[in-house]
Amino acid sequence: MKAVSLLRARGLVKRVGSGRAARTVLDGVDLDVEPGELVAVLGRSGSGKSTLLHLLGGLDRPDGGTIELAGEALVGSSQRALARIRLRRIGFVFQSFQLIDELTGAENVLVPTRLPGAPRGGSGRAWRLIDELGVTPVADQLPHELSGGEQQRFAVARALVNEPVLVLADEPTGNLDSSAAGGLLVLLRQLTVQGRAVVMVTHERDVAGAADRILEMADGRLA
């Protein structure tokens, strides 16, 4: 029996610009991702990979098409409903880490647990993740005092702290050395063992090779 898709997108269209400068970035993209699957979207810079990730995460709205996450529709939902879905069901890992400079590593992880609507028990989950990711000794340091690999682990802990079913990673190894990048790919793989789905976009073919499935973005479509 075919597994039920955790993430299902159909006919996604996204246009940018207007008039003669208008162009179609995504042109009828279909995507299914199953629980426990790591999918890589590979493509050159400007191919629409990050645009797709933003649509899947409810950070932007498509001009056409549908997206469902765990049976819940993202397209057509109110901003309030999208915020709730992002808070409880989706974790984001960004290339630039996006840690808050004035907060320690641990405080950054705790931020999503303190937002209205976050599931209870956030503090305990945060410290368990910090321990599991091996950054407890530097948890009280500010981002500028941490290595790139340490910053990325705090960013991953923050992405996971509300126990999302979907993790979206945008060029997650882009600012890491080869050792730290390899460690992050192992970590992303471990997330799928826990039943989460992971969608990673990258322009590096060797990074994409860590995935269960590689989809190439070209001319606004996935192949």
pLDDT attached to residue 218: 87
Q: Give me the pLDDT at residue 2, please.
A: 52
CA distance 138 to 131: 10
- Say what the pLDDT of residue 193 is: 85
Q: Quickly tell me which residue has 């793989």 as its tokens.
A: 189
Residue numbers in the chain where pLDDT is lower than 70: 1-3
Give me the pLDDT at residue 54, please. 94
Domains of the chain, with CATH numbers?
Answer: 35-61+78-222 (3.40.50.300)
- Confidence (pLDDT) at 1: 45
pLDDT of residue 3: 58
In SS3 terms, the chain reads as CCCCCCEEEEEEEEEECCHHHCEEEEEEEEEEECCCCEEEEECCCCCCHHHHHHHHCCCCCCCEEEEEECCEECCCCCHHHHHHHHHHHEEEEECCCCCCCCCCHHHHHHHHHHCCCCCCCHHHHHHHHHHHCCCHHHCCCCHHHCCHHHHHHHHHHHHHCCCCCEEEEECCCCCCCHHHHHHHHHHHHHHHHCCCEEEEEECCHHHHCCCCEEEEEECCEEC
Query: Is the CB of residue 15 less than 8 Å from the CB of residue 63?
Result: yes
pLDDT at position 96 is: 86
Question: What is the pLDDT, as a whole number, of residue 17?
Answer: 87
Q: What is the pLDDT of residue 180?
A: 85
pLDDT of residue 194: 83
